[in-house]
Amino acid sequence: MAERALWVTGRLGLHARAAANLVRVANQFQSDITLKRLDNSVEADAKSILSILMLAASRGTELRVLAAGPDEEAAVESVYDLFVRNFDERVLTESRQTDTKEEIRRKGLGVSEGVVIGRVLRLQDGTRDVYRAEIEESELERERRRFRAAVRLSRRQLEAIKERAEKELGRGHAYIFDAHLLFLEDAKLTRDVEEYIVKEHANAEWAAKVVGDRLLSIYMQINDEYLRERGSDIEDVIQRLLANLSGEVRGHPNLSDDSVIVAQDLLPSTIAELDLNHVKAIATDAGGWTSHMAIIARGLGLTAVVGLRNFYHRTRTGDQIIVDAQRGEVILNPLAASIERYEFTVHSSSDAFRSSSSNVSGPVTTTNGVDISLRANIELPTEFESVRRFGACGVGLFRSEFLLSRPGMLLSEDDQFGSYRSLAEAAGADGAIIRLFDLGSETGYELSDRSERNPALGLRAIRFGLKNDEVMRTQVRAILRATNFGKLSLVIPMVADVVDVRRARKIILEERELLQKEGIEYVEPEIGAMIEIPSAVLTADKIAPEVNFFELGTNDLVQYTLAVDRGNDDVSDWFRTLHPAVLFGINRTLKAAKDASIPAIVCGEMASTPAYAVLLAGMGAVDLSMTPAAIPRVRSTLEQIDTTEAAELASRCLECASADEVEAIVRVEFRNRWPELFPPKALPREPEGKDSDEVGL
Q: Which residues are catalytic?
A: 292, 603
Residues in the chain: 697
Rounded Cα distance, 467 and 97, in Å = 58
**Contact criterion met (CB below 8 Å) for 471 and 504:** no
Helix (H) / strand (E) element for 215: namely helix 204-220
Task: Provide φ and ψ at 103, rounded to 5°.
Answer: -70, 130
Nearest one of 274, 311, 264, 272 to 292, comparing CA atoms:
272
Task: Give yes or no for a contact between 664 and 695, defined as CB atoms under 8 angstroms apart.
Answer: yes
Catalogue the long-range contacts made by 195-200 (C-beta closer than 8 Å, 24 or more residues apart). Answer: 197/135, 197/140, 197/143, 197/144, 197/147, 198/140, 198/144
Rounded distance between C-alpha atoms, residue 589 and residue 329, angstroms? 32
CA 572 from chain center: how many Å? 21
Q: How far apart are CA 586 and CA 550, in angstroms?
A: 11
DSSP-derived letter for residue 571 is G
**Which letter does DSSP use for residue 77 in this model?**
H
Find out whether 437 and 471 touch, Cβ atoms under 8 Å: yes
**DSSP structure class, residue 48:** -
Other C-beta atoms lying within 10 Å of the C-beta of residue 48 = 13
The b-or-e profile of 287-309 (16+ CB within 10 A means b, else e) is bbbbbbbbbbbbbbbbbbbbbbe
Instruction: Quote the CA–CA distance of 81 and 76 in Å, as a whole number.
Output: 9
237, 154 Cβ separation under 8 angstroms: yes
User: Which residues are bridge partners to 106 per DSSP?
Assistant: 330
SS3 558: helix
